[in-house]
Amino acid sequence: MKKTFFYSTVASAVALAISPAIAQETAALDEVSVVSSGSMYKMGEVPVHQAKSAVAISREDLDKQDVKKADETGRYQAGFANQVSGNDTNTNWFRVRGEEVSQAVDGLPTFSYGFFTPYVKTFGLEAVEVTKRLDSMAFGAANSGGLINYVTKRAHRDQIGRGEFKTNFGSNNLYGFGADYTGKITDDENVRYRVVASLNHADGEWKDTDNKTVYIAPSLEWDISERTRLSILTSYQKDSGTPSSNFYPQEGTLRALPDGSYYSRNLNFGDPLNDHEENKQYGIGYELSHDFGNGLRANSSYRYNHVENNHRGGYIYPSAYAADWSAVAPSANGYNVSGQTVFNQGKAISHSRDTRISWDFKNDWLKNTGVVGTDYRLTSGPQYTLYALGYTANLRDYRATWNHTGTPVGTDTHIKSRQLGFYLQNQARIADKYLLGFGIRHDRARQNEYTSDQTIKNYHTSYSGSLMYEGAYGLNPYFSYSESFRLPVGLSGNQSLYDPNITRQYELGVKYLPPWLDGVITLAGFRAKDTGALVNNGTGQRSAVPIPIYRKGFELQADVNLTENWNATLAYTYTKAESEAATGEKTRQSLIPTNTLAARTAYNFTDGVLNGLTVGAGVRYLGHSVTSKGSLYSHARVPSATVVDLMARYNINQNWSAQLNVDNVGNRKYVAACDYYCYYGAERKVNATVSYKF
């Protein structure tokens, strides 16, 4: 570890040291716009001009959709399958292009492992960036579904003296309070601060579950000079309550019980009398940028994150099992299934650092931006003790197992992971029509599990390339190739460290900016091959698929302003994901709907008695998917579902506004997806918000 950190630090120092020399050789450039702080796009790319499916979701859009959880951000975005494992009280479940995504905060990757995954508070965000494809160029090791970067609120100069007080209340005993203010420390406004804080509570959709969150995020921004800026970002968050147990057996959820009935979506197969969770997380980091002039810039960022988790949660197995471990319907076993209570106590500490130099060059026919940099990740943990207490539950009298006692069996785990990366990226605009991009990155990753004395290393070089043609009539066709690798953190079912997951993808698409309409229409097709992907195995653990998974599909996204007052969004996704054995046998993957379609529209009244009123409606269609192979109803069809959302907002005056959101207006009961378990989709949610901005 010491050598790795030393090499990383030396590389950063060398990069900063050579910056002035490069600056002297770089031609003078006109002033260009600077990418917003906290972005994961290291070359300052604008999503619409990237040769890939990418989008930036604004704070305004998050408010309109009343996004309370991070996995609600993509409900009206192509490529997303949201909350496929249900509407959990304290966990985000979403996939992009059929696979899990990597998450980052302010351009630095977050640690992700079970109970120790940081939980993002959406009130603290000013934007969400999404790349809908695999990409190891940004952070090195990454999930193959794509990247999501949460840009937190910070003390912008133009926000000094501005702020907001917000309160909301709604169904399921939902209530919350939020405050946001930006002020100056020095009279010249070169040093300023921002404080964001919120308190939220909501009952879960499952009986006797709830979650309470306290969040505060002070930040400081200092313009050291006209060319140098330092931002200090901190946050503290505490989540506590009774966790949800949203794992349902296939019998009684996907298909009826022998008496023709189904389980209620509010039923709790856990142990709410004893189940509890307390999760504390806090972080501190900085962003330092310096403009040397003549198109040369240097950026350095760092974040420390600490997560402590104390969790007790009960769950049942998805079915009964025969002697050979083949699935048996619970009704054929007297409705008896095995259950487990999991006790988790531990912590995870992570460090993330990124240092890079970017330079611009242009002449009459070329505009070029290059970036070279290095980053380093160190995670000490998760270090925890996982206790398990087995019992037998009767699904007809499940409350009889509540408040069960016994002596749990404990297992200690202590994992440390490190990754050092070096990268080079370049994007050239040629003849003001062709956008040519390429990237190369080398990573050295290592994991240790100290309890069982295991070590795994992976050295990997990733490549990417793209070409976009900005043609006439706003038509911009493009092609791209990208790679990703990931060394999954954690232990498999046989208590061994995972092998690397490697993915390669091709994408062909077109972005249309119609000259006759204010909007963007994107059509993209992709094909990817995943090696070493992880899937659930039906016992609460994850295992690697021994054969490749092939994914392909296409997406259509349209975001347009039909008039100055009327906007609309359309998002359609087709995804096919299946593994193929050496024999040629193909197996479709679970949790992935073949088709999804979402459309919404909003109209803002600006005249007459309705002046200040905005009304909106949305429709979300979730196509059919299948259960896991080997489950009780192996490869059974999970039916499709359609839900409707409504929104109304009234700007009372310049400062005050009120908003009402109703999701799943008809309170449609549906199964969101199934693997070995089944997961009900979110029920109707009503939320009213009153905001005062000044």
pLDDT tens digits, residue range 163-199? Answer: 999 999 999 999 999 999 999 999 999 999 999 999 9
pLDDT of residue 100: 86
| CA–CA separation, 184 and 483 (whole Å) | 44
Cβ-Cβ contacts under 8 Å for 521 (sequence gap 6 or more): 511, 512, 514, 556, 557, 558, 559, 560
pLDDT tens, residue by residue, 577-602: 998 777 778 889 999 999 999 999 99
pLDDT of residue 263: 96
Indicate the helix (H) or strand (E) that contains 558: strand 549-561
The pLDDT mean for the chain works out to 88
| CA–CA separation, 280 and 239 (whole Å) | 6
The count of domains in the chain is: 1
pLDDT of residue 599: 98
The boundaries of the domain holding residue 363 are 2-693
In CATH, what number is assigned to the domain containing residue 202? 2.40.170.20
For the four alpha carbons of 472, 474, 475 and 479, in that order, the dihedral sign comes to positive
**Does the predicted model carry a pTM greater than 0.85?**
yes
Beta strand segments in 171-295, E:
174-184, 191-203, 210-223, 228-242, 276-293
Cβ-Cβ contacts under 8 Å for 402 (sequence gap 6 or more): 271, 272, 273, 274
| CA–CA separation, 332 and 269 (whole Å) | 19
pLDDT of residue 153: 97
pLDDT tens, residue by residue, 227-247: 999 999 999 999 999 998 889
- Using 70 as the pLDDT threshold, list the residues of the chain that sit under it: 1-36, 44-45, 90, 381-387, 492-494, 534-545
